[in-house]
């Protein structure tokens, strides 16, 4: 509203002045001439603006190392759909069969476009994993228009990175990774890529934020930029003003399929280690701790006697894992690793993943109301595991009905004979239990760190916490086969 009003106000003022001049007749005209002819009072002027260099020189240097990627995916023939129950001999039966056969014939190879950049003169190319995922054929087109078939040399779905190789007849121009941690919010960034298949497109903007988690995986740590990037930019480089690659364009936030000024790039400092391993081994080996965890909350921190909510709480230790060998326990709060503070699960996941198998790590842990240090030898992450994973739990009268785990109850809730604890039979709406995230069907395994097997033991532990004037008490619950810590408010 402010922007649109201002020019209308100026037009209104101009119209009023013009009307005044007309009404004044010749006098008004002479007054204007007198001001214009007064050399002692010249009209307002602005000195010529300093011309900024822009990014033309930078783009001229880096653009030859940016490539277009075209992929072809073979579509497997789908199983024939089940014929609807038409009466035998019905004309609809034959019509439906012919229609479905026609649709099957129309299913042909699928094509997609993306971007990438050369990191080695021998033809090594970096892109996103999702650009080449399921591709049966990959063709790289260089800036000079020449095309080359490409081979996938390594890929990592967890960070959405892939490494390709072509065989050029001569050395190619290539790019170097920069330091993404050194880039500051507000710094200029330049993106080069292949949006909508247009090829060689250059856009500029600023670094808007860092550390964005898109919930795509345990290692999400995206840079956010407002440089326009669109479908087809995926895998292309994001440059700083020195021409170093500080990010790999990977995703956009959009309500309509187009750019709205929110794009995301994988930081170069994360990509460097992944790409180096892909080039050397064709795969990525990550450190593994072997815990399931969840973020701390202020209420849960109070229940555990902590003054702040930094750190992550372990809700399960994987058997035969490095964590178990080091003596980590369910309910421990990991506050730091190798002197670096931990604020959320992703921090620990990234830190552990970057430690090679066999490396040592020193953990600062909160247990039983005090701090202690635990040394752990990091293991090699199994293919079906993550370095550390977990799900956040939700967070005023207690309001829950409890029952013992009788054979009938076990059968009702589908629990095996090995499950120990107390079942939550019901939760009252607007109660402390409901607002703390307790659900019917949860099995309370521990209260304040002590195992419980009867409803009376749960009540006793909560009563002890009330006598101690605690605001909340920590519950370890089993839900759908996964353990969670909840902070049950009792104040």
pLDDT tens-digit series, residues 119-170: 999 999 999 999 998 899 999 999 999 999 999 999 998 899 999 999 999 9
Average pLDDT of span 452-459: 85
Residue 438 belongs to a domain: yes
Domain end marker among 325, 356, 389: 389
Tokens 């089940």, residue located: 82
Does the structure show a pLDDT above 70 at 9? Answer: no
Calculate what percentage of the chain has a pLDDT beyond 70: 79
Domain boundary residue, one of 281, 310, 331: 281
Query: Do 331 and 347 sit in the same domain of this protein?
Result: yes
Domain end, chosen from 368, 389, 410, is at 389
Q: Does 102 fall in a domain?
A: no
- 205 and 268 part of one domain: yes
Domain shared by 308 and 239, yes or no: no
Give the tens place of pLDDT for each residue, 293-335: 888 888 888 888 888 888 999 988 888 889 999 999 989 999 9
Query: In the predicted model, what is the mean pLDDT of residues 65-86?
Result: 71
- Domain range for 431 is 400-489
pLDDT band at 101 (very low <50, low <70, confident <90, very high): low
Q: Is the pLDDT of residue 65 over 60?
A: yes
| Section 450-469 average pLDDT | 84
Tell me: do 221 and 308 sit in the same domain: no
Token digits of residue 275: 């790409």
Residue 42, in any domain of the structure: no
Cβ-based neighbours of 49, under 8 Å, separated by 6 or more: none
Strand pairing report for 333-337 and 340-341: antiparallel
Residue 264: inside a domain: yes
Considering its fold, how many domains does the chain have in total? 3
Which listed residue (156, 160, 226, 347) is catalytic?
A: 160
What Å distances lie between residue 379 and 56, 163, 293, 316, CA to CA? 48, 25, 18, 17
Domain shared by 199 and 262, yes or no: yes
Q: Is it the case that residue 24 has pLDDT exceeding 50?
A: no
Q: For residue 457, give Cα distances in angstroms to 219, 254, 393, 419, 446.
A: 40, 52, 23, 17, 10
| CATH code for the domain in which residue 209 is found | 2.40.10.10
384 and 291, same structural domain?
Answer: yes
The set of long-range contacts for 77-82, using a CB threshold of 8 Å and a minimum separation of 24, is 77/104, 77/107, 78/104, 78/107, 80/104
H helix or E strand, kind and range, residue 4 = helix 2-24
Catalytically annotated residue among 115, 208, 234, 250: 234
Closest CA to 228 of 204, 264, 247: 204
The band of 207, judged by pLDDT with boundaries at 50, 70 and 90, is: very high
130 is catalytic: yes
Q: What is the pLDDT of residue 82?
A: 53
The answer to whether residues 237 and 61 touch, using CB atoms and an 8 Å cutoff, is: no
- pLDDT value, residue 175: 96
Compute the distance between CA of residue 120 and CA of residue 176 in angstroms, rounded to an integer: 9
Q: Would you say residue 292 lies in a domain?
A: yes
Handedness of CA 273, 277, 282, 283 (dihedral sign): negative
Query: Does 55 map to a domain?
Result: no
**CA atoms in the 13 A half-sphere facing the CB of 101:** 6
Say what the pLDDT of residue 30 is. 38
Residue 1 tokens read as 């509203």
- Ramachandran region of residue 469, left (φ > 0), alpha (ψ -120 to 50) or beta? left
pLDDT at 49 over 70: no
Residue 360 has pLDDT above 90, yes or no: yes
State the catalytic residue, choosing from 115, 130, 268, 448: 130
CATH number, domain of 426, equals 2.30.42.10
Dihedral sign of CA atoms 467, 472, 478, 484 in order: negative
- The total of other beta-carbon atoms located within 10 Å of residue 241's CB is 13
Residues 382 and 293 in one domain: yes
Q: Which residue has the higher pLDDT, 88 or 347?
A: 347
pLDDT at residue 276 greater than cutoff 90? yes
CB 115 within 8 A of CB 263: no
CA–CA gap between residue 240 and residue 58 (Å, rounded): 10
Task: Give yes or no for a contact between 153 and 167, defined as CB atoms under 8 angstroms apart.
Answer: no
Q: Which helix (H) or strand (E) holds 323?
A: helix 322-326
Residue 288's nearest CA partner among 332, 341, 326, 342 is: 326
- Per-residue pLDDT, 390: 36
What mean pLDDT do residues 393-410 have? 68
- Counting residues of the chain whose pLDDT is more than 90, the rounded percentage is 42
Q: Residue 479 forms beta bridges with which residues?
A: 482
Tell me if 131 is assigned to some domain: no
Tens-digit pLDDT profile for residues 177-190: 999 999 999 999 99
For residues 313 and 371, membership in a common domain is answered with yes
**228 and 257 share one domain:** yes
Amino acid 15: pLDDT: 30
Residue 214 belongs to some domain of the structure: yes
| Closest to 59 in 3D by CA, of 170, 187, 204 | 204
Q: Are 393 and 486 in contact (CB under 8 A)?
A: yes
Give pLDDT tens digits for 86-97: 556 656 566 666
Lowest mean pLDDT among 1-15, 61-75, 393-407, 449-463: 1-15
What is the spatial distance between Cα 273 and Cα 354, in angstroms, rounded to a whole number?
Answer: 8
| Closest to 353 in 3D by CA, of 217, 183, 222 | 217
Question: Is pLDDT of 491 > 80?
Answer: no
What whole-number distance in Å separates Cα of residue 167 and Cα of residue 151? 10
The reply to whether 160 belongs to the active site is: yes
Residues 343 and 358 in one domain: yes
Report, as an integer, the average pLDDT of 101-121: 79
Q: Are residues 295 and 268 part of one domain? A: no
Range picked from 3-12, 203-212, 446-455 for highest mean pLDDT? 203-212
d(CA 34, CA 36): 6
Q: Is 111 a catalytic residue?
A: no
> What does the pLDDT read at residue 173?
96
Q: Indicate if 435 and 363 belong to the same structural domain.
A: no
Q: What is the pLDDT of residue 90?
A: 59
């Amino acid at each position: 509203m402010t922007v649109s009003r201002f020019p209308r106000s100026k037009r209104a003022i101009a119209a009023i002045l013009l009307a005044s001049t007309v009404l004044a007749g010749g006098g008004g005209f002479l007054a204007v001439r007198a001001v214009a002819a007064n050399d002692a009072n010249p009209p307002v002027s602005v000195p010529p603006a300093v011309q900024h260099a822009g990014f033309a020189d930078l783009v001229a240097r880096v653009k030859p190392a940016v490539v277009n990627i075209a992929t072809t995916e073979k579509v497997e023939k789908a199983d024939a759909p089940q014929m609807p129950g038409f009466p035998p001999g019905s004309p609809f039966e034959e019509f439906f069969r012919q229609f479905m056969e026609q649709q099957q014939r129309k299913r042909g190879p699928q094509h997609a476009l993306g971007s990438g950049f050369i990191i080695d003169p021998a033809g090594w190319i970096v892109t996103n994993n999702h650009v080449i995922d399921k591709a049966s054929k990959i063709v790289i087109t260089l800036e000079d228009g020449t095309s080359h078939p490409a081979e996938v040399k390594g890929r990592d779905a967890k960070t959405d990175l892939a490494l390709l190789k072509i065989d050029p007849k001569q050395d190619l121009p290539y790019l170097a990774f920069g330091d993404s941690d050194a880039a500051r919010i507000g710094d200029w960034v330049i993106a080069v890529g292949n949006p909508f298949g247009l090829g060689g497109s250059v856009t500029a903007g600023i670094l808007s934020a860092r550390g964005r988690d898109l919930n795509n995986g345990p290692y999400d740590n995206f840079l956010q930029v407002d440089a326009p990037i669109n479908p087809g930019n995926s895998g292309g480089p994001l440059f700083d003003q020195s021409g170093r690659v500080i990010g790999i364009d990977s995703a956009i936030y959009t309500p309509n399929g187009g750019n709205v000024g929110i794009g995301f790039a994988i930081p170069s400092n994360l990509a460097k280690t992944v790409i180096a391993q892909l080039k050397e081994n064709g795969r990525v080996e990550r450190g593994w701790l072997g815990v399931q965890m969840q973020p701390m909350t202020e209420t849960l921190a109070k229940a555990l006697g902590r003054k702040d909510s930094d750190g992550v709480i372990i809700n399960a230790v994987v058997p035969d894992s490095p964590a178990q060998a080091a003596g980590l326990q369910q309910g421990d709060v990991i506050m730091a690793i190798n002197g670096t503070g931990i604020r959320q699960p992703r921090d620990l996941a990234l830190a552990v993943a970057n430690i090679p198998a066999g490396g040592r790590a020193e953990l600062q842990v909160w247990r039983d109301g005090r701090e202690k240090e635990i040394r752990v030898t990091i293991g090699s992450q199994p293919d079906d595991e993550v370095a550390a994973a977990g799900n956040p739990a939700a967070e005023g009268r207690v309001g829950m009905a409890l029952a013992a785990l009788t054979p009938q109850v076990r059968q009702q809730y589908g629990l095996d004979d090995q499950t120990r604890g107390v079942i939550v039979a019901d939760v009252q709406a607007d109660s402390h239990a409901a607002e703390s995230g307790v659900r019917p069907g949860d099995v309370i395994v521990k209260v304040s760190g002590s195992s419980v097997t009867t409803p009376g033991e749960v009540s006793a532990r909560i009563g002890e916490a009330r006598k101690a004037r605690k605001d909340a008490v920590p519950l370890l619950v089993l839900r759908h086969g996964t353990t969670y810590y909840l902070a049950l408010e009792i104040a």
